[in-house]
Amino acid sequence: MNIDDLQLIESLAKDGDTSVEGGDWSSAKISYLRALEEFDRNIREDPENPITENDKVLRKTIEANLLKADEFLAQSHLELGMAALESKDFPRAIDELEEAINLASESNLAFLEEAKKHLDKARLQVRDREIYDQITPAVQHGDEFRATGAFAEAILEYQEALKTLGGLPTEHRFVTYIRDSIRECRRALVRSYLKRAHRAEDAKKYLRAYKILQRALLIVDEDDFIYRAFLDQIRERLDSTLKPHQLEEGTDEEAPEKWAAAVKDYEEALNLYSSYTDVDPLSPVYSGKNQYEDHFLQARRRLANLYRERGDRLRDKAELEKALRSYKEALKLFPRADKVFHETFREIKKLRAQLGSSANTTNTH
């Protein structure tokens, strides 16, 4: 290595030492890095020029000093990151801690583990803040609905917020709050059904009370053991007042065989009704009425009732969009003259209003 290059390297190394003495480790690192770059440049440009033992010693000294600078800077960034974490400046904490890890030696495992621990904490906080901002509108709407007693609408909002929390553990505070809120709303709905069931029981309408209780059981959470035990206790009391065929009638929720039979009966009746042809009007047996009409209307009403009952169950479970679809299917099948046609139409209007209200409040945020 020629004398000029050596003097430049030594000068840069000395600048680094001077910066260290003044406590300016960042400038020291820059000087040490420039010195090493000069070493590498000299080797590239003049590979035939021999590297003396003194040159090798100088290089090792610079590398050692650079390592010390990195260690000091890593510790400094760690402390800055922890301070930012303490002051809840989480994005800055992430930047500082990542830099600390980048500067630290791979062999310094204790330091790396500590920095990684704080970095994970900062990242979790940033993620939680992002998730909090995402779920806040829906959660606030849910809280507002719950405060006014609109529990079904509140459940819809909470469930919408819960979709965003799919990657969080079940014990996370966001998940816990929303699940607890849904449970309380479901319990409030169940209590309203219990009042109706008690009124029906007092009026000795035991089958009606039993059916209301079955709906309440569909609403309550699977893991809400307290309310389930309470409802089961009431159901056992009602069991003793009902005959086996009544119990079967009260518990045939969504029985596949019942639906299959109703659909088959309706399709057969529709086929007979639509393919019926009047006989000659001059014939003595001519009546002018489709002889399959009564059977067709009965089959149609039977299927309509199943759709209506499904809509009721879905509505009670706060699955309003699914309930609306079932009510619409029922409305297609009920004759307009039936009282239940108009009752179903009113349910559809109420569901549309609820869904519209939920959508409007969401769009305003």
Q: What is the pLDDT of residues 117-143, one digit of tens each?
A: 999 999 888 888 888 888 899 899 999
Between 53-86 and 25-45, two packed helices, what is the crossing angle to 10 degrees? 140
Same domain as 262, residue 239: no
Report whether 157 contacts 138 (CB < 8 A).
Answer: yes
Cα-to-chain-centroid distance, residue 124: 17
Give the end of a domain, one of 216, 244, 272: 244
CA–CA gap between residue 104 and residue 71 (Å, rounded): 6
233 HSE (CA, 13 A, CB side): 7
Q: Kindly report the length of the chain.
A: 365
- For residues 269 and 201, state if they share a domain: no
Same domain membership, residue 267 and residue 212: no
pLDDT > 90? residue 225: no
Give the end of a domain, one of 90, 105, 120. Answer: 105
Contact 181, 318 (CB under 8 A): no
When pLDDT is cut at 50, 70 and 90, the band that residue 278 belongs to is low
**Do residue 238 and residue 257 come from a single domain?**
no
In the structure, what pLDDT confidence band is assigned to residue 9 with cuts at 50, 70 and 90? confident
In a domain, 126, yes or no: no
CA dihedral over 314, 318, 321, 327, signed as positive or negative: positive
Has residue 263 got a pLDDT over 70? yes
Same domain, 284 and 233: no
Nearest CA-CA partner of 62 in 36, 86, 85: 36
Give the residue from 324, 288, 333 showing the smallest Cα distance to 306. 333
CA 346 vs. chain centroid, Å, equals: 32
Q: Is residue 167 part of a domain?
A: yes
Rounded-to-integer distance, Cα 309 and Cα 262, Å: 14
- Are residues 223 and 303 located together in one domain of the fold? no
Q: What is the CATH number of the domain that holds 359?
A: 1.20.58
Task: Give pLDDT tens digits for 208-221.
Answer: 888 778 778 777 88
Residue-wise pLDDT for 90-106, tens only, equals 889 999 999 999 999 88
Residue corresponding to tokens 């993620």:
127
Q: How confident is the model at residue 206 (pLDDT cuts 50, 70, 90)?
A: confident
Q: pLDDT at position 276, please?
A: 58
Q: Where are the alpha helices (DSSP H) in the chain?
A: 3-21, 25-45, 53-86, 90-103, 109-147, 151-163, 173-202, 206-219, 225-239, 244-250, 256-275, 293-316, 320-333, 339-363
Asked if residue 130 is part of any domain, the answer here is no
Helix axes 109-147, 339-363, angle to 10 degrees: 140
pLDDT of residue 281: 46
14's tokens = 């000395």
Predicted local distance difference test score (pLDDT) of residue 280: 44
Per-residue confidence (pLDDT) for residue 96, from 0 to 100: 92
Does residue 297 form part of some domain? yes
What CA–CA distance (Å, rounded) separates 341 from 320?
19
**What residue type is 154 in one-letter code?**
A
Q: Which of 53, 82, 105 is the last residue of a domain?
A: 105
Which token pair is 148?
Answer: 């006014």
Q: Lowest-confidence range among 53-67, 143-157, 313-327?
A: 313-327
In a domain, 122, yes or no: no
pLDDT the model gives residue 254: 55
First vs last C-alpha separation in the chain: 70
Sign of CA dihedral 197, 202, 206, 208: negative
Q: Which of 288, 140, 146, 318 is nearest to 220 (CA)?
A: 318
188 and 280 housed in the same domain: no
Residues 260 and 356 in one domain: yes
Residue 302: pLDDT band by 50, 70, 90 thresholds? confident
Q: What are the Cα distances from residue 1, in Å, to 109, 178, 284?
A: 38, 71, 128
3 state SS for 57-90: HHHHHHHHHHHHHHHHHHHHHHHHHHHHHHCCCH
Res. 226: pLDDT tops 80: yes
What token pair was written down for 69?
Answer: 């600078």
Question: Which CATH number does the domain housing residue 197 bear?
Answer: 1.25.40
Q: Per residue in 72-84, pLDDT tens?
A: 999 999 999 999 9
Q: For residues 98 and 142, state if they share a domain.
A: no
Instruction: Read off the pLDDT of each residue in 323-341 and give the average, rounded to a whole number.
Output: 88
For residue 116, is it within any domain?
A: no
Instruction: Report if residue 124 sits inside a domain.
Output: no
In a domain, 179, yes or no: yes
When divided into structural domains, the chain yields a total of 3
Both 99 and 157 in one domain: the answer is: no
Residue 200 structural domain: 137-244
| CA 148 to the chain's CA centroid | 24
In this predicted structure, what is the pLDDT of residue 257?
64
The reply to whether 157 and 93 lie within a common domain is no
Mean predicted confidence (pLDDT) in 307-324: 83
| CB of 283 closer than 8 Å to CB of 236 | no
Does the pTM of the predicted model rise above 0.85? no
Give the pLDDT of residue 80: 93
Summarize pLDDT for 175-202 with one digit per residue, the tens: 899 999 999 998 888 888 888 888 888 8
Average pLDDT for 311-323: 81
Q: Are 117 and 125 in contact (CB under 8 A)?
A: no
Residues 199 and 272 grouped into a single domain: no
The Cα–Cα gap between 208 and 151 comes to 23
pLDDT tens for residues 16-58?
A: 889 988 889 899 899 989 999 988 888 888 777 777 888 889 8
Question: If pLDDT is split at 50, 70 and 90, which confidence band does 107 have?
Answer: confident
